[in-house]
Amino acid sequence: MKITKILDSGKLSLSFEVFPPKTDTVFESVKTATERIASLAPAYVSVTYGAGGGTSEYTLDIAKNIKDRYKVPTVAHMTCVSSTKETVRAMAEKLRACGIENVLALRGDIPADKSLVKGDYLHADDLIRELRSVDAEFCIGAACYPEVHPESENSVTDIKYLKQKVDAGVDFLTTQMFFDNPLFYSFLYRIREKGILVPVIPGIMPITNAKQIERAKQLSGSYMPHRFEQLVDKFGNDPLAMKQAGIAYATDPIIDLYANGIKHIHVYSMNNPEVAEKIMSNLSDIIGK
């Protein structure tokens, strides 16, 4: 099923992101975790893609398993930094062969030495155009940053580049994590003013241990509200209390988003079935699960 069909349904939905293993040795444990999340019957599951396509086969395996065994629609991530047209087209063919209709098209992380390994693509919009030329029937998503991409000069420039991605053939957008809903509402207003009219799915990251905070800041430069910092100060040294508090804190903005007319939420599960289960349980009567 295409993600656009879910977004057009008018029903509230909750989806999860999972990531594939990096090596064979942990494949079965990761597969088991992703299956537990899929068994919750979310609206869909997205499966990430390692830098330079390093986990591409695992991405396919996990996405196909979820789709075939649990009948849950899947979105396969694809990055283009360091990729050639041949590798992208080969991956697109594999997606089609697996019956995967949905792709999240991303630039991918710049290598640690800050130089782009030789490839045919520099930006996500290049990949989007390529995928559109390979198969016009792909449902293509892209990423956006409510708080401005860390490499952008400012929000004006950031929205300009986002518009280029959307114009290249994007069907929906998913945001990077944020921890303050007014930032998302403001972002939505500003991009609509600029003619970006595709559906935008907010991405929520439950912070269930204190170590995740620095990683979140590195990924997106996320603003941390004072009340969240207080939560971490109080419970950060108690793993069980921090997990419970983090799940409760993540549930609250999801409910607020639903209450303000946002129908579809994407949760970065970090392959943690317990977190996914408890968030789904917290929302069971709201989304009808």
Encoded tokens for 31: 């597969």
Residues 6 or more apart in contact with residue 271 via CB below 8 angstroms: 18, 19, 30, 33, 34, 37
DSSP assignment string, 199-267: -EEEEE----STHHHHHHHHHH-----HHHHHHHHHHTT-HHHHHHHHHHHHHHHHHHHHHTT--EEEE
Question: 216-229: buried (b, 16+ CB within 10 Å) or exposed (e) per residue?
Answer: beeebebeeeeebe
Residue closest to 170 by CA, chosen among 203, 196, 190 = 196
The H or E element spanning position 10 is: none
Q: Which amino acid is at 172?
A: F
Q: Is 17 a catalytic residue?
A: yes
Among residues 17, 101, 130, 147, the one annotated as catalytic is 17
Q: Answer whether 66's CB lies under 8 Å from 38's CB.
A: yes
Sequence-distant contacts of 35-38: CB under 8 A, at least 24 apart:
35/65, 35/66, 35/69, 35/70, 36/273, 36/276, 36/277, 37/269, 37/271, 37/273, 37/276, 38/66, 38/69, 38/70, 38/72
Catalytic residues: 17
